[in-house]
């Protein structure tokens, strides 16, 4: 192996070698190159290719030496400068790692491997299926592949040397399956259903494999799918039909901290089932993704931080596998010579026949190591992806990353010329690199509340139990809370479960005008004293509320499920956001509570302080039933104001729960008062009251404008200009560019349009698709929408539930009917036949004219208007043609178009290449302008200033010409 030539992959000669060498030297070039490679297969004209090439790798974008630029030009001929040639160069590059789609070509390559004594496993490229028809197609491709290879493989006798194991011949036909591609609706809350659907598509594959005597391996993908993959494996191979075959195995990733426990469990399972399985031990290919996602979600990082830890774990697990050679067959997937040598040494020590296990390596990589493994008489299997380039791009980029990483064995050996000593070092002896200090924080300590990881069984059980417990306690009367005392009323309004209108969640007291006045007087009386409580003590109250919410998390989620019809994950996100508001505003107030020096000048102090505004009313909507009311209430209160909270008529019980938690946290009487009742009477009365100082409103444009107007009128006896914090609706748009990653765009658009039945102010309701993609994208979008699971929110895995109320249902259904006259009804989903529930079938209109009502007005339901644009400029001007400016988004892989939307798309929150809902406190301060609101950003640092007035204090420090040292 030492004597072997540098593999072509790492040769500095030629197009690929030159690119990889530079990629290793320059991170920026690497990023730009890989992004270009990623988009390339979707580009259809040479003009488009040239444009993207310039946008990513033009002289202004990356600095590469003139020599490299020349080298690249020479390597690819003049075509480097013109679009078409580069595509075939990159296709050639991809073909080094994948087998393509042509059956003849596939057979030829596998035959060649056979002649080289190398066994194979084939995997069908493609990881993202966005709809059930796509999952069907994917399963069918496995069946076709089995048929094709079954015919060919049976002709080859004797079996290739690598398929001759110590226990006899092994199946020559070996396929690797990715389970995520067999079901499009995997949802963390409902693994059971996912296993059922995956099993349905697996059975025909396993049956065919059994007939053909083929081996089936389950590949391992992201961590989120790991337990599901293990569960699917155990479930299906416990079925009597598959108890005797086909031969099967699964991959385990040594970079996962859980891998030891998983391996032990699988070995135990094999032992109790009395069934030999193969475990393919790999290191893991999604390290960056797992690390980034865990950080984003504040979840424990599931992978080891250091590569050396993974290598060491691989060695430990290898040993364990070999020790259990009587129960499991081992396949060691590695290109690392040290890891291979370690396996061989353990095998020798344990007396395991070297042909009892195999090494697996990727097609197109590590040729010299493969030859060496064969030369020493070991078995070798190549992992061969087959399929189209487009779905293969994720795979290609993973290979390119691996070949250019600082840590890969191959890159270290061949590209960096690392010596034997370094390459073969015991990973346990490699010192951990110095830890990088966390980036300095913006002046306060705040961390977002993690979302619940429902892939954990215990969390799912907690939620089910909370719903059951709540159901036993429904139907109570919820009085008003004034001056920390319960106040009953003459009238009570039932709050109904949107999924079952005969289920009363609770009865909300209906305040009279007199009671609203009483609440106002209580708040007025309490305010001066509350304002004198130190800012950090007020902040502590908020933190107590956050702690109580954490304590009651599952119960609060359950309440959202039953009162607001939020599904588990949406409810959990809302409660987490409420907790974030408490903690974040507490942190911001601690900072604002300190006077700030305005300018340093000798002999005088100048500082800015903040004073509370006084008494306010909090008027909240139902769609984020806890988070929004909590955000507005806590911001006002921590700033030293007192408030009257008026939750929505649709979710009064959740609103009341917030006020109860405030009281439990120890807020003094009168600081937070609860008034439930009709917004149009008690709400309007309070808004117009001369003794009110501010209004924090979130809701519809219709009501918001009334409040804006009413608050602007100054009444006799009024002492303050009323401040209105006003957040209203949206008609939010996403542009899908012609080079967009459609897998991501479909998923993001579906989640944005239909998450919580489209009842989010941030929801996608106008989708503008560039002509080139229009039909293809619309078809995939419809298929994806059609695959969504519709059902009551309490059922885990329900994505679409009922809308909030009977009124909302009737209103939206009427809009859909009118919409049919304005645009083409492209698709309408079906909903459960349940007259007691408020379902609205999710609906997609296509070719929607920009002048139509559907395109212009907020519907606030599961209705999506899709419009075609001939080019990007037209798309952008359609997007901006709206009275609203709340959220917006764009899926594009053109750096110039991305720059254009960043500069010109009119909205308060813009999201690029992701869905447009789900703003996170502090990370994405949320709110719009124009008819979407007053430009205040909830969850942002400046939000509290809405509830404060600034005051500057200047003090002359000179007394008889003497100034104290610190003030001079």
**CB of residue 655 vs ligand NAD: minimum separation in angstroms?**
8
146: left (phi over 0), alpha (psi -120 to 50) or beta: alpha
Residue 679 or 895 with smaller CB distance to ligand NAD? 679
Residue 680 or 954 with smaller CB distance to ligand NAD? 680
Catalytic residue among 582, 761, 838, 907: 761
**CB of residue 41 vs ligand NAD: minimum separation in angstroms?**
39
Q: How many residues does the structure list for the chain?
A: 968
Determine the residue with CB nearest ligand NAD. Answer: 679
What sign does the CA torsion over 535, 540, 546, 549 have?
Answer: negative
Catalytic site residue 761? Answer: yes
**CB of residue 834 vs ligand NAD: minimum separation in angstroms?**
23
Catalytic residue among 727, 794, 858, 922: 727
The structure tokens 């795979």 sit at 395
Q: Which residues pair with 122 in a beta bridge?
A: 175, 384
Q: Which residues pair with 252 in a beta bridge?
A: 281
Structure token digits, residue 326: 């009587």
Q: Cα separation of 18 and 831, whole Å?
A: 56
Q: Cα separation of 771 and 738, whole Å?
A: 7
Summarize the chain as % helix, strand, coil (round to 5): 50, 20, 35
**CB of residue 530 vs ligand NAD: minimum separation in angstroms?**
24
Catalytic site residue 727? Answer: yes
**CB of residue 868 vs ligand NAD: minimum separation in angstroms?**
26
**CB of residue 728 vs ligand NAD: minimum separation in angstroms?**
6
**CB of residue 911 vs ligand NAD: minimum separation in angstroms?**
15
CB 885 within 8 A of CB 906: yes
**CB of residue 708 vs ligand NAD: minimum separation in angstroms?**
11
Residue 548 or 921 with smaller CB distance to ligand NAD? 921
**CB of residue 907 vs ligand NAD: minimum separation in angstroms?**
11
Residue 282 or 619 with smaller CB distance to ligand NAD? 619
Q: Cα separation of 173 and 854, whole Å?
A: 54
Q: Cα separation of 96 and 287, whole Å?
A: 23
Residue 423 or 705 with smaller CB distance to ligand NAD? 705
Residues contacting residue 769 through CB under 8 Å, at least 6 positions apart? 735, 736, 777, 778, 866, 867, 868, 869
In 3D space, the residue among 480, 478, 476, 477 whose CA is nearest the CA of residue 512 turns out to be 480
What DSSP string runs through 171-201?
A: -S-EEEE-GGGG-TT--TT-HHHHHHHHHHH
What sign does the CA torsion over 179, 185, 187, 192 have?
Answer: negative
Query: In 3-state terms, what secondary structure has residue 619?
Result: strand
Structure token digits, residue 21: 């060498």
CB 777 within 8 A of CB 42: no
- Order of strands, sheet of 596-597, starting from the edge strand that comes earlier in the sequence: 596-597, 604-612, 948-956
Residue 648 or 828 with smaller CB distance to ligand NAD? 648
Structure token digits, residue 860: 């606030």
Helices (H) and strands (E) in the chain, counts: 32, 32
C-alpha R_g of the chain: 32
What residue ranges bind ligand NAD (CB under 6 A)?
A: 619-624, 628, 646, 648-649, 679-680, 683-684, 687, 698-700, 703, 706-707, 727-730, 761, 858, 860, 886, 927-928, 932-933
Residue 630 or 894 with smaller CB distance to ligand NAD? 630
Q: How many CB atoms lie within 10 A of CB 820?
A: 13
Q: Cα separation of 932 and 939, whole Å?
A: 16
Residue 188 or 621 with smaller CB distance to ligand NAD? 621
Residue 412 or 700 with smaller CB distance to ligand NAD? 700
Q: Which residues pair with 608 in a beta bridge?
A: 596, 952
Residue 362 or 620 with smaller CB distance to ligand NAD? 620
Residues contacting residue 362 through CB under 8 Å, at least 6 positions apart? 97, 335, 382, 383, 399
Angle, helices 27-39 vs 46-57, to 10°: value is 160
Catalytic residue numbers, as ranges: 727, 761
């Amino acid at each position: 192996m030492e004597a072997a030539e540098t593999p072509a992959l790492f040769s500095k000669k030629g197009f690929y070698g030159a690119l990889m060498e530079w990629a290793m030297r320059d991170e920026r070039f690497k990023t730009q190159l890989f992004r270009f490679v990623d988009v390339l297969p979707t580009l259809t004209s040479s003009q488009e290719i040239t444009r993207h090439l310039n946008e990513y790798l033009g002289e202004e974008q990356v600095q590469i030496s003139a020599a490299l630029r020349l080298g690249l030009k020479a390597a690819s001929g003049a075509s480097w400068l013109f679009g078409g040639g580069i595509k075939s160069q990159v296709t050639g590059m991809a073909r080094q790692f994948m087998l393509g789609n042509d059956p003849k070509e596939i057979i030829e390559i596998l035959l060649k491997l056979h002649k080289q004594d190398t066994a194979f496993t084939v995997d069908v490229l493609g990881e993202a299926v966005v709809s059930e028809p796509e999952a069907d197609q994917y399963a069918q491709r496995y069946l076709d592949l089995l048929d094709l290879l079954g015919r060919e493989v049976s002709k080859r006798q004797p079996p290739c040397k690598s398929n001759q194991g110590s226990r006899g011949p092994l199946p020559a036909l070996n396929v690797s399956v990715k389970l995520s591609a067999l079901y499009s609706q995997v949802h963390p809350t409902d693994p059971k259903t996912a296993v059922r659907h995956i099993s349905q598509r697996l059975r025909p594959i396993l049956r065919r494999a059994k007939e053909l005597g083929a081996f089936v391996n389950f590949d391992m993908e992201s961590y989120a799918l790991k337990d599901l993959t293990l569960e699917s494996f155990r479930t299906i191979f416990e079925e009597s039909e598959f108890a005797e075959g086909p031969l099967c195995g699964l991959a385990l990733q040594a970079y996962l901290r859980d891998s030891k426990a998983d391996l032990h469990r699988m070995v135990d399972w094999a032992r109790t089932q009395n069934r030999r399985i193969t475990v393919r031990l790999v290191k893991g290919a999604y390290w960056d993704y797992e690390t980034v996602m865990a950080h984003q979600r504040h979840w424990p990082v599931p992978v080891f931080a250091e590569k050396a830890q993974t290598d060491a774990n691989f060695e430990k697990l290898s040993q364990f596998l070999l020790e259990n050679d009587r129960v499991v067959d081992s396949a060691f997937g590695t290109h690392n010579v040290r890891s291979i040598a370690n396996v061989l040494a353990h095998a020798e020590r344990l007396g395991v026949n070297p042909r009892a296990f195999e090494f697996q390596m990727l097609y197109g990589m590590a040729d010299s190591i493969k030859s060496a493994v064969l030369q020493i008489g070991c078995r070798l299997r190549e992992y061969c992806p087959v399929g189209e380039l487009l779905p293969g791009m994720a795979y290609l980029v993973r290979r390119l990353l691996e070949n250019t990483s600082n840590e890969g064995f191959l890159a270290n050996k061949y590209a960096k010329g690392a010596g034997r000593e370094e390459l073969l070092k015991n990973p346990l002896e490699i010192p951990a690199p110095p830890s990088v200090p966390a980036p300095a924080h913006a002046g306060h300590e705040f961390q977002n509340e993690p979302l619940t990881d429902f892939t954990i069984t215990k969390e799912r059980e907690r939620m089910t139990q909370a719903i059951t417990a709540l159901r036993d306690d429904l139907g109570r009367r919820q009085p008003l809370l004034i001056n920390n005392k319960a106040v009953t009323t003459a009238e009570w309004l039932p709050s109904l479960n949107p999924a079952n209108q005969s289920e009363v969640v609770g009865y909300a007291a209906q305040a009279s005008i007199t009671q609203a006045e009483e609440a106002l007087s209580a708040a007025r009386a309490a305010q001066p004293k509350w304002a004198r409580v130190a800012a950090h003590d007020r902040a502590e109250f908020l933190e107590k509320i956050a702690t109580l919410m954490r304590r009651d998390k599952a119960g609060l989620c359950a309440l959202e499920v039953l009162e607001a019809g939020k599904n588990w994950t949406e409810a959990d996100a809302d409660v987490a956001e409420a907790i974030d508001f408490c903690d974040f505003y507490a942190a911001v107030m601690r900072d604002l509570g300190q006077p700030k020096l305005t300018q340093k000048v000798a002999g005088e102090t100048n500082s800015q302080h903040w004073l509370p505004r006084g008494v306010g009313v909090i008027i909240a909507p139902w769609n984020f039933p806890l988070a929004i009311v909590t955000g507005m209430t806590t911001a006002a209160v921590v700033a030293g104001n007192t408030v009257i909270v008026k939750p929505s008529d649709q979710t009064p019980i959740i609103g009341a729960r917030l006020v109860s938690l405030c009281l439990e946290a120890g807020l003094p009487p009168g600081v937070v008062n609860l008034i439930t009742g009709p917004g149009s009477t008690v709400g309007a009365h309070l808004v117009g009251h001369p003794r009110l100082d501010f209004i924090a409103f979130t809701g519809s444009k219709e009501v918001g404008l009334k409040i804006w107007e009413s608050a602007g009128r100054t009444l006799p006896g009024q002492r303050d200009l009323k401040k209105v914090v006003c957040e209203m609706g949206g008609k939010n748009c996403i542009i899908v560019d012609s080079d967009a990653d459609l897998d991501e765009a479909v998923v993001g658009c579906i989640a944005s349009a239909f998450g919580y039945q489209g009842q989010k102010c941030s929801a996608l309701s106008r989708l503008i698709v560039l002509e080139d993609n229009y039909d293809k994208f619309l078809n995939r979008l419809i298929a994806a929408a059609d695959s969504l699971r519709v059902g009551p929110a309490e059922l885990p895995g329900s994505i679409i539930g009922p809308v909030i109320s009977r009124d909302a249902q009737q209103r939206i259904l009427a809009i859909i009917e009118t919409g049919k006259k304005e645009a083409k009804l492209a698709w309408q989903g079906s909903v459960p036949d349940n007259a007691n529930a408020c379902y609205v079938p999710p609906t997609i209109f296509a070719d929607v004219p920009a002048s139509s009502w559907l395109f212009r007005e907020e519907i606030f339901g599961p209705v999506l208007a899709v419009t075609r644009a001939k080019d990007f400029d037209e798309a952008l001007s359609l997007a901006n043609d709206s009275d609203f400016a709340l959220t917006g988004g764009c899926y594009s892989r053109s750096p110039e178009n991305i720059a254009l939307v960043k500069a010109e798309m009119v909205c308060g929150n813009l999201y690029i290449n992701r869905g447009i809902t789900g703003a996170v406190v502090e990370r994405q301060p949320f709110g719009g302008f124009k008819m979407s609101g007053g430009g205040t950003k909830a969850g942002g640092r400046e939000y509290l200033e809405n509830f404060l007035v600034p005051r500057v204090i200047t003090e002359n420090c000179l007394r008889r010409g003497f100034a104290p040292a610190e003030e001079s």
